[in-house]
Chains A and B, each alone.
Chain A
Amino acid sequence: MSRLGLLFRRELALAWSGGGGPLLALAFYAGATTLVPLSTGPSVQRLAEIAAGLAWVVLALASLLPLERLFERDFEDGALDLLALGPLPLEAVAAVKCLAQWLAAGAPLALAAPLAAASLGAPLSLAPLILATAAIGGLAFAFVGGLGAALALGSRRGGLLIAVIVGPLLTPPVIFGGGAVAAFASGLPWREGFLFLVAYALAAMALSPIAMAAACRNALS
């Protein structure tokens, strides 16, 4: 267990310094909340309608940003060799990397999401559900995104490849999470969407480490 903690602390420090942390979240949401009223027009009612959905779009896009460095920096400087020769299987290493990525980048984004939605005029009663779906959705984004990052290892212009691989896989959680919030806002049943989001996140956490480890082994050979 101590090795897991050791690796987690290192990954957290790397993710925090390399494009994660509260500043990323604040910059992204500040940009979105100031640009959207400028581009859609200042109709208060329209902004309030799209506020929750917009928070989800920003979450998905911001989650793509740090992915390129997730495995690539360890691959480039040889640290991935050492991680592979450590006491834990690569599957566990990959899962720890994604969890740390989520804590450093996804969690601050999830915390900022209800604020951004509220500042665009979404009702405050939505805030708890936006926070919960953004936190769980961010977990799914981190693991699915890690898969894209591992598959793109060693290719030049990896960021582009990651976006192409990960884009379609981000669609279901956006539909489930954004849908649950929209249903809640209009008084419709929302639990199903929320449960589907949880199921998607759990499936991503269970399956993607296996694929990430296989992709890393392939890149190392």
Chain B
Amino acid sequence: MIAEVLAHDLALTRGERRLFSGLSFVVRAGEALALTGANGAGKTSLLRAIAGFLAPAAGAITFHGEAGLLESEDARRAHVHLLGHQDGLKSGRRAGDELSFLSLWTGADRAGIEAAVEALELRRVLSLEVRKLSAGQRRRLALARLIASPRALWLLDEPLAPLDTRHRAGFGALMRRHLEAGGLIVAAVHDPLPVEARVVELSP
């Protein structure tokens, strides 16, 4: 279980371009971090660096548990959810199949999937093909795996963008519950998050 994520003197580059440098922050259990900044400031890249896909040009990202430093690779495999721009859903498969694969793959059990279906009001769409879902329904389907399989650190890229007002509030409540249970959230956003969050503005 991740209790703390630490970024120390971090710099990221994409190609020749330096996105930002000298960035340090810490996120502890129960805290949310909102990454803001102009388009292209490096919000998505930072999320992907925390997930281990991008190697920082300088500095380091470390994960700490109750008992001390965690091995990054293991921590990411077991305790990190990443929800990027794309939902990771196959358009030709049924929504229910996709939800159960992605949830079981990240460590959920059947009861967890049931709870997620209830929490995100997905019962009606489970038998449909993913291609027939609206953008908001797809996003809720993608968010459902966060609820279904309990992983401590949520990395979210514009998680609420396609959702309507009611479901934004609904997912806000789920985020609050995750934080109260000792979870961590790092989210790239343009609109404020529906939970209390520390804001980190990215700029070159």
Binding site for B on A (CB under 8 A): 3, 6-7, 10, 13-14, 17-18, 73, 76-79, 81-87, 217, 220-221
Contacts and interface: CB of A to CB of B under 8 A. Distances in A.
Interface stretch (B29-37, B86-94, B179-187): B86-94
Contact of A77 (B48, B51, B88, B106): B88
B58 to A, nearest CB: 16
B101 interface: yes
B77 A87 contact: yes
Contact of A82 (B54, B55, B93, B102): B102
Contacts of B93: 13-14
Contact of A81 (B53, B78, B90, B107): B53
A6 B90 contact: no
B204 to A, nearest CB: 21
Contact of B88 (A10, A78, A87): A78
Nearest to A88: B77
Given A81-B51, A84-B53, A10 B89 contact: no
B82 interface: yes
Nearest to B53: A220
Contacts of A78: 84-88
B101 A10 contact: yes
Interface in B83-114: 84-93, 97, 101-102, 104-107
Interface string B51-89: 101110000000000000000000011101110111111
A79 B87 CA distance: 8
Contacts of B97: 13
Contacts of A77: 86-91
- Of A84, A85, A87, which is in contact with the most chain B CB atoms at under 10 Å from its CB? A85
29 contacts: A6-B101, A6-B104, A7-B105, A13-B93, A14-B90, A73-B90, A77-B86, A77-B87, A77-B89, A77-B90, A77-B91, A78-B84, A78-B86, A78-B87, A79-B89, A81-B88, A82-B82, A82-B105, A82-B106, A83-B105, A84-B53, A85-B51, A85-B81, A85-B106, A87-B77, A87-B78, A87-B105, A221-B48, A221-B55
Contacts of A79: 88-90
Contacts of A85: 51, 76-77, 80-82, 106
Contacts of A3: 104-105
Contacts of B91: 77
A79 B76 CA distance: 16
A81 B77 contact: no
A220 B78 CA distance: 19
Given A10-B101, A220-B48, 5 more contacts: A6-B104, A77-B90, A78-B84, A82-B82, A220-B53
Given A78-B84, A78-B87, A221-B53, A86 B92 contact: no
Contacts of B87: 77-78
Nearest to A7: B105
